[in-house]
Amino acid sequence: GVGKSALAVQIADYAASRGRLAYIASLEMTGRELAMRSICSHANVDSKALRTGRLTPDDRTKLVQSMSVYAQRKIKVDMRPDLTVEQLARTVRRLMSGGLELVVVDYLGLLKPSDQSVKRYEQVGHQTRTLKLLARETGVRLMVLCQLSRAAAEDKMPPQLHHLRESGSIEQDADTVLFIHRPEDGIELPDPDDKRKKIKANWPAELLVAKQRNGGTGRFKLAWEGRVTKFSCYGYQMEAFTEFAEFA
């Protein structure tokens, strides 16, 4: 509930805006929902106003313009509810001829197990390993969303690798692990004047780079616009990420 689907769709939409083909295996949302979310975000129109039919003439104009732009983008949405990792792999290989650039799986826990007789951690291990080999074989970027354990919410601290749900194979097979940290009561930081106290950060969310096989780890400050379900760089400027040590 922190916006992982919103961020993934935003990234896929950006890839498609560059003329590349993006494939979204959406096991939770319909293609219509994904499209309208992207259109509202691009048009900067409140999605609630669209759902309730309370659009202003200016909103309608911006939505029509955004729909025209969105219609030109190459985004394929797969909504099969019983999709297995093998079926997904076959689809990715088939789309390679169309210039496939990015695959988004939303989300790992909803993929149908190939063998339901084995334990859950073995099912997830098979899925992540298959996706890893698929990425190596095709060279296509795979963004696989997954849920965190309840402990992540209960701790009220930035999520960590051990919070990944169901299997350690997720951390093992992933080249990069990103977490969205967006607590309801705001992000807490150490008070520079008194380390025993906490202060509230000015930015509402962070993107944490918890693992990166070919680079460093750290965090980016993010802004969050809930009415259009959109993330952006805090202050609208991309800053070099800050090492975790500085927030210890």
Q: Is 49 helix (H, G, I), strand (E, B) or coil?
A: helix
What is the residue whose two structure tokens read 């084995």? 118
Q: What share of the chain is helix, strand, coil (3-state, %, to 5)?
A: 45, 25, 30
Catalytic residue (one of 28, 33, 86, 122)? 28
Is position 122 annotated as part of the catalytic site?
no
Q: Are 231 and 11 in contact (CB under 8 A)?
A: no
Structure tokens at 12: 């896929």
Overall residue count recorded for the chain in this entry: 248
Comparing CA positions, the residue from 191, 189, 195, 181 lying closest to residue 224 is 181
Which residue(s) pair with 231 in the sheet?
Answer: 224
Comparing CA positions, the residue from 214, 210, 204, 213 lying closest to residue 241 is 210
Calpha distance 92→37 (Å, rounded): 24
Catalytic residues: 28
